[in-house]
Amino acid sequence: MKTNPGRFFEDYRLGETIHHAVPRTISGGERALYHALYPARHAVYSSDEFAHGLGLSTAPVDDLMAFHIVFGKTVPDISLNAIANLGYAEGRWMQPVHVGDTLRSESTVIGLKENSNGKSGVVYVRTKGLNQRDEVVLEYVRWVMVRKNRPDAPAPGAAVPQLAPVVVPEAFVIPRRLHFTRYDFQLAGEPHRLGDYEIGEKIDHVDGVTIEEAEHMMATRLWQNTAKVHFDATFREDGRRLIYGGHVISLARALSFNGLANAQMIVALNAGTHANPCFAGDTVRAWSEVLDKSETSAPGVGALRLRLVAVKHGAPQFALKGADGKYLPEVLLDLDYWALVPV
């Protein structure tokens, strides 16, 4: 057979590294599309002049765009037969990605655990995105539940990796020469500094966006993510296309501009859960909670640890979990990340 059936749980080996296909050179076109698909307004990604004023050569592409491009390449090898995308950890952005860079991805299998039903198992991979100079631009761990092809296939021995519950500030890789010493709050859109945010503070980002099929498919295709469920209305029994979880991440992050305009660059991803599926027609809103704050080694640059929650319209304010500890049905995303903020 010439076509790719995807890998099944029994096809993974602990420690193997998979070199994913189809490198991608990024142009201004991807940046413009990102701005057309999401209400993204963080100034460092929008203006070469603003980025230059922070010590960068030009405006990098949105950190989440880099994430999606790296992630998309892993889909044919990791999640084509996935039942669920279970979580993320230890994500770090190692250097900004600029127009002209060519990205590729590789993933190392760092954990495998068969489910007790014998029909599937959990695969843990550490994925790295590399540029044309073979420098790592970002890395993250994710784990997915993957079907077995043959229920009687022998399962590899269980190995569950120890993952850090949070990326500590000492592990941040701040972009070279980045500083917020001449940060222009007026051009950035809000006056709030690190010191203006309190741990525990919650911010309702107010705005909402109703999603169309064409938009989430164009976004997901742009990342060369090939998962059938996002594109083929005949794939699910209910005739609905499931929206790529990363689309919701980017949408929520963009909405969070309103209240977090100065949370300019994402430096680490601590954890993330796609709590409920999202479909076209849903109106998505977002709220954030300040989980922690930190200084960094770069001049004028602090960091906010933020919980970013995407919800469907109609959710109670700051909706998250019910008394049973489970996510409320209106919650789409619960993301835990660090962003760089002027002190």
> What residues between 126 and 145 interact with its own copies by CB under 8 A?
132
> Given the rule CB under 8 A, which of 140-148, 162-170, 211-219, 295-303 is the region that contacts its own copies?
211-219
User: Which residues are bridge partners to 334 per DSSP?
Assistant: 273, 309
Q: Which amino acid is at 270?
A: N
276, 281, 287, 291 alpha-carbon torsion, rounded to 10°: 30
Q: How far is the CB of 92 from its own copies (least distance, A)?
A: 24
Q: How far apart are CA 343 and CA 327, in angstroms?
A: 33
Q: Which of 187, 195, 299, 329 binds its own copies (CB under 8 A)?
A: 187
Q: Is 37 a residue that touches its own copies (CB under 8 A)?
A: yes
Nearer to its own copies, 162 or 234 (CB): 234
Q: How far is the CB of 8 from its own copies (least distance, A)?
A: 16
Q: Is 266 a residue that touches its own copies (CB under 8 A)?
A: no
CB–CB of 43/187 below 8 Å? Answer: yes
Q: Which amino acid is at 136?
A: V
CB–CB of 39/184 below 8 Å? Answer: no
Q: Is 49 a residue that touches its own copies (CB under 8 A)?
A: yes
Q: How far is the CB of 29 from its own copies (least distance, A)?
A: 3
> Given the rule CB under 8 A, which of 98-106, 108-116, 135-143, 295-303 is the region that contacts its own copies?
98-106
Q: Is 341 a residue that touches its own copies (CB under 8 A)?
A: no
Nearer to its own copies, 29 or 299 (CB): 29
Q: Is 35 a residue that touches its own copies (CB under 8 A)?
A: yes
Q: Which amino acid is at 302?
A: G
Q: Which of 122, 125, 144, 222 binds its own copies (CB under 8 A)?
A: 222
Q: Which of 14, 83, 99, 163 binds its own copies (CB under 8 A)?
A: 99
| CA end-to-end span of the chain | 57
Nearer to its own copies, 74 or 273 (CB): 74
Strands (E), the chain: 17-19, 24-25, 82-93, 102-114, 120-130, 136-147, 202-204, 209-210, 265-274, 283-295, 301-312, 331-342
Q: Is 258 a residue that touches its own copies (CB under 8 A)?
A: yes
**Burial status of residue 149 (CB atoms within 10 A of its CB: 0-12, 13-18, 19 or more):** middle
Q: Which of 178, 261, 275, 339 binds its own copies (CB under 8 A)?
A: 261
The Cα-based distances of 166 to 108, 239, 295 in angstroms read 20, 38, 16
Q: Is 108 a residue that touches its own copies (CB under 8 A)?
A: no
Q: Which amino acid is at 232?
A: D
Q: Is 188 a residue that touches its own copies (CB under 8 A)?
A: yes
Q: Is 104 a residue that touches its own copies (CB under 8 A)?
A: yes
